[in-house]
Amino acid sequence: MSVDINEMKHGSKMKGTVSKLRIIVGRDLLHANAGRAVENRALLDKNRVVAVNLISSPGSGKTTLLEKTAELLRGKMSIGVVVGDLYTARDAQRIERAGVTAVQINTAGLCHLTADMVGRALQEMPLARLDILFVENVGNLVCPAAFDLGEHVKVALLSVTEGIDKPAKYPGIFREAAATVISKADLLPYTDFDLPACLGEMRQINGGQQVFVTSARSGQGLDRWCHWLGQLAGDNLPPVEAGGSYTGGTGG
């Protein structure tokens, strides 16, 4: 995690008071990240761009979902992608081949993206002409959930080949997600994945979220997913003055 020393100094001056030898601090340790996230959200709001933070295990199909989404939204909405990986620019290259502006962030080993990294990537994005910005987070179900990047919604992916236990084992991200995309549904007949049981458990973990059962290969469920994205970008354009999170809603 990067820490902005200048912000730190500013904050502690504001909140620190001397009481004998006990110094009251009372400031959030993720303060630097939270501050940068607020800046990112303000920049996105100013450009009327909705940002979606895509979080899942490695190999669940984030890049493939984005390739297919770009295909389906072509001519309807303009999308951009910030891609986070430990190393290589392979995912950004794949997404660019789908005709989408992509900026790769290499974290060089760090297990999640931070608001500062995304903020720097936003400088390279043509925000004025985008409707939706996807942030493809580092493949990891734990750490990315803790870092606000300035997004408007978090979306979790769960692939059929991972089994149905992931939401129960890693509830943090599934609880915070406005939507979960179940991917690789074309493989359902070849696995023991119990879809009704999975959907039941997801409802217990987060009853307010949207769930999309999809297959990028067959196209199943992608229309509903794209429709939801359209609502997010169109009906719910973020107000200029404030960010805030969408919490799901009833449509889709």
Interacting residue ranges for another protein, rule: CB under 8 A: 1, 3, 5, 8-9, 12-13, 16, 18, 21-30, 32, 142-143, 146, 168-169, 171-172, 175, 203-208
54: tokens are 């895509």
Compare residues 124 and 165 and give the one whose CB is closer to another protein: 165
Residue 117, SS3?
helix
- Side by side, the strands of the sheet bearing 50-55 are 101-106, 79-85, 132-136, 50-55, 153-159, 179-183, 210-213
Under a CB-based contact definition with an 8 Å cutoff, are residues 142 and 87 in contact? no
Compare residues 163 and 172 and give the one whose CB is closer to another protein: 172
Compare residues 30 and 127 and give the one whose CB is closer to another protein: 30
Name which of 79, 77, 110 is nearest 1 in CA terms.
Answer: 110
How many whole angstroms separate alpha carbon 172 and alpha carbon 156? 10
- Rounded least distance, CB 93 to another protein, Å: 30
Compare residues 19 and 123 and give the one whose CB is closer to another protein: 19
Burial class of 27 by CB neighbour count within 10 A (0 to 12, 13 to 18, 19+) = middle
Termini Cα distance of the chain: 36
Compare residues 85 and 148 and give the one whose CB is closer to another protein: 148
- Rounded least distance, CB 102 to another protein, Å: 27
Sign of the torsion formed by the C-alpha atoms of 30, 33, 242 and 130: negative
Compare residues 32 and 73 and give the one whose CB is closer to another protein: 32
- Rounded least distance, CB 33 to another protein, Å: 9
CB atoms within 10 A of CB 9: 10
- Rounded least distance, CB 151 to another protein, Å: 17
- Rounded least distance, CB 66 to another protein, Å: 26
Compare residues 196 and 207 and give the one whose CB is closer to another protein: 207
Under a CB-based contact definition with an 8 Å cutoff, are residues 106 and 85 in contact? yes
- Rounded least distance, CB 64 to another protein, Å: 27
- Rounded least distance, CB 142 to another protein, Å: 5
154: tokens are 């978090």
